[in-house]
Copies of this chain bind each other. A is one copy, B any other.
Amino acid sequence: MSSGEFDYINWLRKRTPASAGVLVGPGDDTAVLRAPSGPLLVTTDMLLEGSCFRLAEAGPFRIGRKAMAVNLSDIAAMAGIPTAAVVSVGLPRDGGRELAKQLYLGMRKVADEFDVPLVGGDTNSWDGPLSISVTMLGEATPRGPVLRSGAKLGDWIMVTGPLGGSLLGHHLDFMPRVREASRLHELADLHAMIDISDGLAKDLHHICEESRCGAVLHADAIPISHAAKELAAKDGLPELDHALSDGEDFELVFTVSHEDGERLLREQPISGLTLHRIGKIVAKGYEIERNGQRLPLEPRGYEHVMRD
């Protein structure tokens, strides 16, 4: 949940020796472990008061729900099935017990949506602010997990919903795209996928890095949420900037063959959402096409997404 995350992950990856039991180590949406029964998915996400949320604004129930939901979203990004969660919590000393209950009820609310049991935890009191870490386990579907590294030249880049302005509420109330991802993976050979937590421009870039390819987005094709428009009206920034670089949409961006992409776009087979084609995978470069012009797209958040 932090912008500094990726440097550290790269540092860590270089120091993680290959291990026979590890199919995918640090750097994808989840790790993938070799298990006799099929790939085992593991992911962890920490939410920190003041950095990832403000308890006074959101309330403990919604924070608990979000802590669980962001991990479910990581499992969704592998087209996996979540199976169990463990939770560790650092509680402020004042009112910690009632806080813990509300957190837990929020966690259960969204975990129950996907029949995910909370199987263990570690609850502590301390003098620091609220700190919550959830670890989620999952299984891959028979087609295997969808990694960030599988995008192919000519692939269509698609997204599962409108983007931007999550700050206005969606980041607390989103429903992780677990079922939608599984269904998509049944219907098409998903080449690469990621959930949008840092913003489209940044997260799609992770796919390009891992797949060693480039991408061109079509500005007019990017679905912009109502919240992005509302925010743009307030802050004067272009709506498109919000859609490209606001974080925590938790929609999925994925790549498929041209043929699969055309079919998905025509058939719109996932109830409750509209699939959008927003660009294509190219050999190199990272650009956005607008009014017939291609501009470099910065793989980063919020400000100055596009150099122009």
What is A's interface to B at a CB cutoff of 8 Å? 1-2, 4-5, 7-9, 11-12, 15-17, 19, 21-22, 24-26, 30-31, 33, 35-37, 40, 42-46, 48-52, 83-84, 86-90, 96-97, 100-101, 104, 108, 115, 117-129, 131, 133, 135, 137
A90-B21 in contact (CB<8A): no
A120-B46 in contact (CB<8A): no
Question: Which residues of B are found within 8 Å of A46, using beta-carbon distances?
Answer: 88-90, 122, 124, 131, 133
- Tell me how far the C-beta of A290 lies from the nearest C-beta in chain B, rounded to whole angstroms: 34
Residue from the list B1, B15, B36 in contact with A122, Cβ < 8 A: B1
Chain copies in complex: 2
A8-B48 in contact (CB<8A): no
Residue from the list B51, B108, B127 in contact with A125, Cβ < 8 A: B51
- Tell me how far the C-beta of A52 lies from the nearest C-beta in chain B, rounded to whole angstroms: 7
Complex Cα spacing A18 to B37, Å? 23
B36-A36 in contact (CB<8A): yes
> A108-B15, A137-B33 are known contacts. Are A123 and B2 too (CB-CB below 8 A)?
yes
Residue from the list B25, B31, B49, B108 in contact with A128, Cβ < 8 A: B49
A44-B104 in contact (CB<8A): no
B26-A120 in contact (CB<8A): yes
Residue from the list B83, B118, B128, B137 in contact with A50, Cβ < 8 A: B128
- In addition to A8-B121, A9-B121, A49-B128, 6 A-B residue pairs with Cβ atoms within 8 Å of each other are A22-B117, A44-B86, A46-B131, A48-B126, A50-B126, A131-B133
Q: Please, could you name 13 A-B residue pairs with CB atoms under 8 Å apart, sorted by A?
A: A4-B123, A4-B124, A19-B117, A21-B83, A25-B120, A33-B83, A33-B137, A48-B126, A49-B128, A50-B128, A131-B131, A133-B135, A137-B137
